[in-house]
Structure 1
Amino acid sequence: MPTRVDPHVKVLDERVARRAKRRGIDVLVYAPHFTRLPEVRERAARFSDDDLLVVPAREVFTGSFRDRKHVLALDLEAPVPDFLTLDATLRELERQDAVVLVPHPEFATVSLDVVDLNRHPGLFDAVEVYNPKHFERHNRRAREVARETGLPAFGSSYAHLVPTVGEVWTEFDAAIEAPRDLSDLLRSGAPRRVFHRSGGGHELRCRAEFAHLFWENSWEKVDRLVLSGMEPTHPRHPAYEGRFDASAVY
């Protein structure tokens, strides 16, 4: 029986879990911004049950806030902070043998591009080809990136807002009973299909997600998250014990 995976959501609570189940989603990948891995793992475990598996992950911000690129990582052994150089982040993910996915490629100013992917052959496991924050031209370019690099595809709701959960999913013809099952499928390039809803409701939810970008990129958020130096995933936070200081951009 096919397994429906929404491979990237930012929100997770009782409403999210209920909505995912109503929409036939079997697996959610929970990768919130600026949240350390132990907390992500704990919250994912809290909302996993017999009907819904929640897989912990991290969408890591690399580079400075003005020149950042996002990388989605699953199956991490240890926490990885934000705001390291891109090369340092990728070296750490490779050292941990993490599953490395490319969210929203070449979108706005926050994304990996073909040059980045070609500079690190063999490191990335899949490219996102449908994202509700995209307009059609962005999804079209994302599909081109997948073809140009030869990487497998995935699609996600990228839900920052609860109503978007389950708008997009990636379907595998395999059982996924534990996070490692999903990691193995992604690493192996297993066959999958990307689906998304359609109609006026879907378009409205997509536009609402796009509008949410204004908060995501506001200077107020930059000031609070970056310049304070004490956010949980800041590379100079005491939790990292100085291990990433040499690669930090702040």
Structure 2
Amino acid sequence: MTLTDEQQAIKDEFVRVRGTWGEPWERMLELDPAFVRAYLDFSAVPWRRSPGALSPKVRELLYIAVDAAATHLYTPGVRQHVAAALDAGATPQEIMEVLELTSTLGIHAANIGVPLLVEVLTEEGLRDGPAPLDERQEQLKAEFTKTRGYWHTFWDEILELDPDLFEAYVAFSSVPWHTGTLEPKVKELVYCAFDASATHLYVPGLKLHLRNALGHGASVAEILEMFEIASVVGIHAATTAAPILAELAEQRS
């Protein structure tokens, strides 16, 4: 369709500020230009701030973490933000490092599940307290603390009850900390971004990684900008469904 002057102005501003456009935005612009304008203003908060707290490269890395997370898996966004990250100067190795960090999300099944198991075992009279750690478990705890720079009580029961899982997870999750080049502050912001995302909302991990990020020198402004980036994930309801709506509506017209 031919765009009205209002629609064209919104599209031009969107491309200028966000640096992207595509069929979902075109369909939304046809259906409800006011919504596209409002989303542009919402998503552009970190991009219109000058200077921004985070660099454009780091912003794009955080978008990748949110979109690629196992709880979201929004492929069009991954593609868009990988391209934008490369354009902003990120290396393939840095982007791969973000994917490695984000791939640790699955351990939250155990972080949530094992303490609940311990709670149930205690209530059923099948457990009367934690067992002391053996030499191997103490070594695993020390290795994790040295590599990651912290320890949290939500690891205690996993280490006690399933040291094989814990050992394998330590090796898996530590790869980007041994071989990666992103500064620790950025690594922790990546963890924060996917923990804070509406598709995950893992509060214990978010609080932990906020503390770690501050400890590695992140500013409040940088953390707030991370939240601004993670907060726009809801738009994928519209970017996924608006083209379907436009297609089906056109078939019936």
Q: For the superposition of Structure 1 and Structure 2, which TM-score range results when normalised by the shorter chain?
A: under 0.3
Which structure would you say has the larger RCO, counting Cα contacts within 8 Å and 6 or more residues apart? 2
**TM-score normalized with structure 1 length:** 0.27
**TM-score normalized with structure 2 length:** 0.27
